[in-house]
Structure 1
Amino acid sequence: MDTAQKVDWAALNAHAAGRPARRLVSKAIAAAGGQRHPGVVLDLGAGAGADSLQFARHGWTVHAYDTDDTLAARLVENERMSGSVRFHHGDIAEVEEFPAAQIVYSTYTLSLLGPEALAVTWQRLVDALPRGGVMAVDVFGVNDTWADRPDIATLPLEQVDEMFRDFQVIDRSIRDEDGRFLEDRKHWHVITTLARKLR
C-alpha cells in the first residue's frame, strides 16, 4: 500500500482544523498583485482548509482539492467571506484539466503523488496559469526520511529548478531538520518555492 494511503487523513485534518493559515498564503497573494484584483486559486491538498479559507477571506475564488472531505463541512464559512471556496473531493492526479487560475498553491502534497504522477500533474498545473501567474508550492527533497519510498517524489534541488525553468523565482526556503509526523520521528526536507510564470 502506498505511503499516502496508510495515513488517516481525516484524523490528521481534524487535528489541524484550528491552525492558522500559513504565511505562504499572504506571500502568494502579494506576488499575484495583492488584493486589488483577486482571482482564482487552486489549493491542492487543502486538508482542513485553513489556507483555502484565508484566500477566500481576501476575496479569492478557491478551487480546493483533497481526498479527505473535512473541508466540505466548513464551507458554511463562505457566507462570511468576500470570496468563496469550491471543494473538489478526489485524487488530483486524476484531474485531466484544472480551471484557469492566477495562483497555484500546495503544501506537503505534490510529492505524495509519486514521481510519474507528479510530472504529469505538474504540467497540467503550469498550463492552468497565465503569464504572470504565481506558483506557491513545495516538494520533498532528497534528505527527507521518505526518500527511499518509491511512491514518494523526493527531488534534488537541481530538478526543482528545472521544474521552474519558465518561472521567475521570487522566494525559496528549505526546511531540512528533524521533526515528527503523527507519532513518528521524521526528518523533513521540504523545498518551498514562490515563483511567477514568465511565459
Structure 2
Amino acid sequence: MGTMPRHLAKVPGLRFAKMLGSGFDFGLKPNFARYGLMAVWDNAADASHFFERNEHWRAFQERSHELWTADLLPLQGHGLWDGTNPFDYAPRADAPAEAPVAVLTRASIRLLRSWNFWRAVPPVSRAVQQAPGLLAAIGLGELPVIRQATFSLWRSAAEMRQYAYGQQHEGRHKEVIKRTRQEGWYSEEMFARFRVLATRGTWDGKNPLLLT
C-alpha cells in the first residue's frame, strides 16, 4: 500500500488512481484484510494491459485470497478529489431506471469537525445496509479519520434513488447533509455515480452482480 502509488504514477493510460484502506461497518476500526484500488483510465485497452500484465498488480493478486473488479462508466460526478474531478466527462445518457449502478462518495473531513462526522455515521450506515436493492457496500479511506469514502453497488438506479430521496430514509439522510453544510464538516467532497458495465471475481465469496 505504501509503495504502490509511485508505481501507479508510471502506468501508461492511468489518469487518476487511489489506493484505499477499509474499516469494519463503515466505522473507525480498520480492516487490515481488505483494500481497494480506484482507477480512471484513458481507455479500456490500457486498463486491461495493467490488470493482466503489471508486475506490481500481480504481486497484490499473489497476496490475496479474493479479488472483485467492476468496470464502470461515469454518469455523474460533482465535487473535487485532490483539487480535481476525475469523473468530469462529457454528459452521457443516464442509466435506465432498472439498470445497476454504483455510487462513490468521498470527503476530506476537517479535523475539528471529525468527532461530529463520526457520531453521525452509525445510524446512516445501518440505514443504507438495510436498504432494498443494495447489493454491496464498503467504507474506504485514503487516510484514517479524515479522508473517507464509501462505495456502494445497487441492483437498479431506481432503488438507489429511492434510498437517497425516498420518504423512508429522507429525514435521516437530509439531516446529515444539512449538518455537513451548516457545520462545515468537509474541506473537500465528491459524489459520483456510474453505470456498471461488467464485474468479475468474488466479494465475500460471491459476485454480488454478475454481468456479462
TM-score surpassing 0.5?
no
Greater strand fraction, Structure 1 or Structure 2: 2
The structure whose Rg is larger is: 2
Relative contact order (C-alpha < 8 Å, sep 6+): which is higher?
2
